[in-house]
Amino acid sequence: MRGYRAPSFSLGPATPWAYAVLAETGHAYSSSVHPVRLSAYRSAAGPRRPRTVEGVLEIPVGTLPAGPLGNLPFAGGAWFRLLPERWTS
């Protein structure tokens, strides 16, 4: 398996060791960071652009900067489940 996504986008400042483990297990990329200000996601101030950490390409979930609101998500399956169907069809 070349890619990885941590449950609940749980990689962040408290888990710097995780990228070394991913590299060791042969993962080439990860999409485990969701840089938005929600308690469930641990990297609100995380980078919005792809970067390499410990040899693993981290590709954050898409967000848009919204000034004082911080970053707003514009992608992800949860929005298709939470928003009314007329908003997503």
pLDDT at 40: 55
Position 36 pLDDT exceeds 70: yes
Answer whether 9's CB lies under 8 Å from 41's CB. Answer: yes
Average of per-residue pLDDT across 58-74: 84
Planar angle of CA 22, 6, 26, nearest 5 degrees = 20
Total count of domains within the chain: 1
Q: Which domain holds residue 83?
A: 3-88
pLDDT at 54: 94
More confident residue, 3 or 39: 3
